[in-house]
Every structure is written in C-alpha cells, then in structure tokens.
Chain A
C-alpha cells in the first residue's frame, strides 16, 4: 500500500505541475502567481508549509517520549506567534513594497550590492541547511516504510519536484500545497481523534503515574523553564522572518486575503500541530515502546487506523515532505535566478528570458540538493545546527530596523548581519567544545541576537544613511497594503460596497475563529486538565 500511495502522490504533483505550467505566462506568474492568490490558496500554502516533516516525525516523537507539553506549551507557541508576525508584519509590509522575494526587500531598501550578497548567502545557507536535513531525515523514514531504496526515493522525489517547481514556480507550489493541506488536515480531524479515542483521555492522563512529569512543561526529562523560554524565543524569532512563511504572503490577491490568512492560517498552526502532539501522547498509551520515537505517528497511522485512513496519513506525511522540499527548491531557485543572476549581475532580460532563467535556476538547485541528499556530506549536518536560527540572528534585527528606523543604513545592515551570524556560530562552537558555558535558560541565539542588535545600533549611530536610503524610508512609510487595496477596490464599480463587504467578512471571521478556538481548546482542557 505504501508504494502505491507514494506513486500516487508523486504522480499527482507531476500532473498538477504540468497543468499549472499552462497558466505561467511570465516571470510574475512564476515568482508570485501574478498576485492572484485567493484566501483558500494562501491559507492552504501557509498551513501546509507550517506543518513540516519535522512536526510529524521529530517533534511528534519528542512529544511521545517526553510529553506533549514539552515543545508545544512555549516552543510551539513562539512558532505560532512568529507565523502571525511573518504574515501580518513582515510579509504584509514587503508585499506592499512589491517584493517578489525576501532579498528583493534588502535590494530595494539599501540599493547596496554587499547587503544584497550577504542577505542572499544567509538565505541560501539557511534554507539549504534547514531543508535538506529534513528532506534526508524524512526520506530515510519513508524508505523504511515503502521499502524503496533511499537513493532511488530521493531521485524520484527530485524528478517530481522538478516537474512542478521548474514549470509552475510559486504557482505550482501554492496549488499543490493547498491540495495537500486537506490531506494534512485529515491527520488533525480524523487520524488524531481516532488515536486519542482508542487511547482514552483518562488513560492518557494516567501516564503521569508511570512516567512522572509526563503532563508538565518540563516533561519526563525535567527540562528547566529557562530551556522552554529559550525555545519560545528561538521559534518566535525564527518564524517571524522565515522566508518559507513570509514569501507565502507575496502571491496574495490583496490585503483582505492577507488579513484573512492572518486569522485562518494562524488558527491552523496550533490546530494541526497540537492535535498531532496530543495524539502522540495517545500513542504512548497504545504502544509504549516505539523506537525510534520519530516513528510514533507512523505506527499510529499503520496500526491504529483502517487501511484507507492509514493511506491518507502516509500521503499527508509525503505531502509534508514535498511541501518542505518544494519550498526549499523554489526559494533557493528564486535566489539564484532573480536575486543573484538578474539583480546582482544586472542582467537585462526580457520576459521570456527571465522565465527561462527562473526555470534553469530551479533545475540547478534541484540537481545540487539531490546530490547533497544522496551524498550526505558531514558539512551539511554541521550547517543544519545553525541553519534555522541564522534568519533570527542575521535577518530579523535588520528587517525590523529597516521598517522602523530612519537612521538605518547599509553599513549597519551588513555589519549587523555578519556580526549576528558569526557570533552565533562562534558561541555555538565554543559551547560545544566546552570552552564556554552559559547560565541555564540562556543560549547562543540570545547572545548572538544581542550582538546583532548592539552592532546594528552602534553602526547606525556612527554612520549616516544615504539620500537614497532616506528617500526610500519616507516612500516606504507612505506605502501600505491598506492604501493599495483601497485604491484597487475604489477603481472598480461599487468599490466602496466591496470594501464594506470585506470589512464585515473579516469581523465575522475574527469572531468565528475565536469562538472555534475557545471551543476546541476548551474541550481538550476539560478532558486533559482535570
């Protein structure tokens, strides 16, 4: 069955990719689906991107072994809030500035090659280091389930990914993500309740008797509160500027779509994640000795749900791998073709050449990532230690200061990005070598963030912004998604009525999702909290 589902999922991606290719007429379609993204598509792609293979495997495994509260209570809470910031603060502002990729923003804001080069390097290293490891890890698990040789599996994945990323670009990714979002949702609304139902809430609560601290934030490993707070900070800072999430806003049709996504998409982040973690707790009741613990949810699909539903679960797992990998392929490809080749090398390309460059970029990235996944060089494991967090220490202070501070300039941006990333790696290596120790609850990310912010402030105070930077700051402050959307709507017949209709819809959505949230989490609290 596993092989059939694997083949079906891959085929679906290839078919959708081929179908979508017909709608990709120019580079705008390729990079941001021509700004045609509806609420359904943007919510779908955001939620699918959020639910990574790591959630279903590694973090679910940790929840199974140590208790569902360990990561979820503060670490995941940081990630949920970070997702909200990525959509409503960073993504919305960059979209208003007509950015098609995140490095576009650095280019527009500073018009300085060095800042752009540093930003692009951080983006490529961060994405490759973060994504390839997930791709490899999930590929190994999938290889075990399907019995397909790991190398062959990675090649098949890559071929399917090329089929829809090289032809469909962001359009292909958004559409396939949305299709797969519904498969992933099946885990939360069908599979997780089935597992929890079989385990029973009383038995799940009873785990505390055989596994002390199972239902505490510290978990069975008795982790300190400092560690949990540090997890919260890591995830909120990382997610707030993670390109995979921020770039999901760029294809949105207008501000109303972004604001609806900020409510609905962000609601699905805890909904899809927490149900999996609670079900992982249920698996501890049903099957206490799963090794490796990463397989907890897979054992749950295969042994505690009917075959058809198990198939949906496996498809969702594959979808999460594809979604993680496609984001990686597409964004690194964009960095190569648009940010590096077109903008930094100042290539004057017509629409057709630009589209070809984008597709060639995808092909190159796919081949390189496939080679890394197959060869698994030790360097990639070293990079992965730092990869995710370098966006927090490298990009976030610069992005926030660029949005909010008039004195922000290219020198401050480049020194802050370099100081943040370098100090993060140096502190990390010193700690790992045992040369440096930090008090409980303080980690290298917090120190590096402090270095990055301090460097930024000092550099900005001792240097001056250029006339271009000052002018762009003023222009940026004048530009906003609300203004652009109001202008767009008022240019249509009955524009004011349409704005009022969207306004009312948004108020209704706010109230409705707050109500759903209270009911869903209130139910779980009553069942597990008393």
Chain B
C-alpha cells in the first residue's frame, strides 16, 4: 500500500468531513436552541388555546 497516496485521498475526504462537522456544529449551537424554544412556545400556545376552549365549556 502506498501511504502517501492514502494521505492524499484522506485529505480530500477530510475536507468534506470537516465542512460537514463545522456546519452541523453551527446548526446545533445556533439554530437548534431557537427551534426548540419556538416549538415550546408553539406548544404552550396550543395548550393555552385548548385550556381556553375547555374553560368556555
């Protein structure tokens, strides 16, 4: 096995792996908390709406 050829193709693969990891980290750190918070808010609004309907009855 030619180790230097292996290094070349590992590097070529590594670039995409690193870019994917960087993007996923950005998504998890900068987007996921907002998504979760908004989902929670939406759920609370739905619950409040349901409670309103129940209390009206």
Contact = CB atoms under 8 A, between A and B. Distances in A.
- Chain A partners chain B: yes
Interface of A: 68-69, 72-74, 77, 80-81, 84, 88, 215-217, 259, 262-263, 266-267, 269-270, 274, 480, 482-483, 486, 490, 496, 499-500, 503, 506-507, 510-511, 513-514, 516-518, 521-522, 524-525, 528-530
B12 A262 contact: no
Contacts of B38: 490, 496
Query: B-side binding surface: helix, strand, loop or mixed?
Result: helix
A486 B30 CA distance: 10
B53 to A, nearest CB: 23
Interface string B12-31: 11111111101110110011
Given A266-B15, A514-B17, A496 B35 contact: yes
Contact of A266 (B10, B19, B42): B19
Contacts of A77: 11-12, 14-15
B16 A266 contact: yes
Contacts of B55: none
Interface residues of B, number: 32
B12 to A, nearest CB: 4
Contact of B27 (A217, A259, A274, A514): A259
A84 B6 CA distance: 22
B11 A259 contact: no
Given A482-B26, A529-B1, A262 B8 contact: no
A517 B4 contact: no
A73 B31 contact: no
8 contacts: A69-B8, A74-B11, A88-B19, A88-B26, A490-B38, A522-B9, A525-B6, A529-B5
Nearest to A266: B19
Contact of B5 (A267, A517, A528): A528
Given A270-B12, A521-B13, A499 B35 contact: yes
